Structure 1
Amino acid sequence: MPRPRQRPRESPALVAFGRQMRRMRESKKVKQETIAHLTKVSAPQVSKIEAGKRRATRAFVEAVDDHLEAGGALINLWEDLNKDGHPVPIWFDWPQIEIDATMLICWQHSVIPGLAQTPEYALAIVHGNQEAANLRISRQAILSRDDERGPAIVLFLIEEQVLYHQVGTAETMKNQLEHLIEISTLPNVTVQVVLSRGDHDGNMGAFVLATMEDRSEVAYVETAIRSITTDDPADLSILARTLVDLRARAVTQDMSRELIRKVAEERWT
């Protein structure tokens, strides 16, 4: 099996934007800490933006452009890099967004979300690619991180049919559902099953909505062609409406645990 193509660690477009912002800031003798205070974004995050490791939101760019008296130059550059409401590159560094997020809402209609998978389930999903499975499992550290940010708050919304969709062996499925019940007892994790009744907007595709430290939102959306990352207000509005519908169809966490336990015992034992 060919090794998956590795994406570059940095986007030339993001690096170019960060360098330009830094040049403009330094020419005005403005410190990063001042930008952080002005935008209510932490100084390390401002540093990441200038290093091309994080994409700035439009609100951030507008505030910085105004403070630096850039006359719209920084905004124009940001717009050039965000044509059609999508970031450049289209895949933008979602793993870093996931790490930095304070809250994640994960919707899945076909498989157990990656942050809730067991090693055996993950290995089956990636067709035996151990390296890819290990990478997927390593991301779960955000559920129990003990740095100054604390663990991320995570809500898993899972379509009922996912509990019956076999991935790997029956034992893999049983262990996976038991693991799902176990992590649902964590104080920062909620697991709710969305009942498979009727049509709803969630059938269009899986997605994750991340809320960042500055309360901005970024979404990771799976499509039939590729996955995209976006913070476009129109996209976020659609996902917000979809989440309202999904939450209305979801049973409570206690009821979800009972349903998951019942499927594990009756279907996969």
Structure 2
Amino acid sequence: MPPRRQRPRESAALIAFGRQMRRLREAKGIKQETIAHLTKVSPAQVSRIEAGKKRATRPFVEIVDDHLKAGGALISLWEDLNKDGHPVPVWFDWPQVESDAAILVCWEHGVIPGLLQTPAYMSVLLKGNQEAIDLRLRRQSILTRDDGTPPALFVLLLDEHALYRRVGSAETMKEQLEHLLDMSLLPNITTQVVLPSGEHAGNAGDFMIATMDDRSEVAYVETAIRGIATDNPADLSALARTLIELRARALTEEMSREVIRKAIQHWT
């Protein structure tokens, strides 16, 4: 069983910026809701920035600095914490990012992604670890929730090989692909099969890009050692280019469903 991932520590730089912003805001008697309205983000996003749990963008800082009449103090602090043009250090609790995301775009070339896995399929991959299975099942609720929060839009680009890579028994595979087919019919889920022909950038590994309500993005990239979460612009740009290449190789939704149906017959 792989070691349990430790929750990363908060960034001291993010905390410092958030505290200063909160001091300036409270000194002016301005509410977080007002900042949210001005910057066109949610109050929860403003709260996370002030708590040092989310990196503020330059446009956000410029608007807040101007409204608080900070005289450029917030902008200067942001620049100090973004030396050499690099974002301040940031940590991500990926399940929380995933839960908060408005849109999730996923590339998988080895297996069916966790958000669409059946219990039997994930049990094989997670070696029967019930705690990990329960966590993954809870994460899946973001696609079907009806608690007043719209379910996330989920776009899956899936290598055709994953449909034929055996995980568990033939019955497990058949059940999994039937579930994949059923989920592809939901209005918030788009599933497209990518033909496994030739070399392309997606062969380097799986990844998922989360787009938040404020249009900011965070990516989760799988490596041989561990998953890495990043909002580095250079990383996001590279993944965007990979997505363009993958989409050029992807079948339409209906054609993809036919490919999945054919794979189901293979496991029947």
Matching of residue 176 in structure 1 with residue 146 in structure 2: no
- Per-residue deviation at 1:3? 6.0
Letter in structure 1 aligned against 2:181: I
Q: Give the structure 2 partner of residue 104 of structure 1.
A: 104
Change in 2 beyond 3 A, CA 1:118/1:2: closer
Listed one character per residue, the Cα deviations across residues 84-130 of structure 1 (whole Å, up to 9, x for unaligned) are 557433xx122111111111111111111111111111111111111
Q: Give the structure 2 partner of residue 239 of structure 1.
A: 239
Q: Which runs of 5+ in 1 are unaligned?
A: none
CA distance in 2, matches of 1:112, 1:77: 43
Change in 2 beyond 3 A, CA 1:12/1:246: closer
Q: Assess if the C-alpha contact under 8 Å between 1:65 and 1:74 holds in 2.
A: no
Say which is worse superposed, 115-124 or 21-30, in terms of deviation.
21-30
Listed one character per residue, the Cα deviations across residues 207-266 of structure 1 (whole Å, up to 9, x for unaligned) are 111111112222111223432222222222211111111111011111111111111212
- Per-residue deviation at 1:192? 0.7
Q: Give the structure 2 partner of residue 223 of structure 1.
A: 223
CA distance in 2, matches of 1:57, 1:4: 32
Listed one character per residue, the Cα deviations across residues 120-146 of structure 1 (whole Å, up to 9, x for unaligned) are 111111111110011011111111122
Letter in structure 2 aligned against 1:184: S
Q: Give the structure 1 partner of residue 256 of structure 2.
A: 256
Letter in structure 2 aligned against 1:123: S
Change in 2 beyond 3 A, CA 1:220/1:57: farther
Q: Give the structure 2 partner of residue 74 of structure 1.
A: 77
Q: Assess if the C-alpha contact under 8 Å between 2:45 and 2:54 holds in 1.
A: yes
Letter in structure 1 aligned against 2:149: R
Q: Which runs of 5+ in 2 are unaligned?
A: none
Say which is worse superposed, 194-203 or 211-220, in terms of deviation.
211-220
Say which is worse superposed, 117-126 or 67-76, in terms of deviation.
67-76
Across the aligned residues of Structure 1 and Structure 2, the Cα RMSD in angstroms comes to 2.3
Q: Assess if the C-alpha contact under 8 Å between 2:81 and 2:88 holds in 1.
A: no
Q: Assess if the C-alpha contact under 8 Å between 1:61 and 1:74 holds in 2.
A: no
CA distance in 2, matches of 1:86, 1:111: 34
- Per-residue deviation at 1:55? 3.8
Say which is worse superposed, 31-40 or 48-57, in terms of deviation.
48-57
Say which is worse superposed, 10-19 or 121-130, in terms of deviation.
10-19
CA distance in 2, matches of 1:86, 1:196: 38
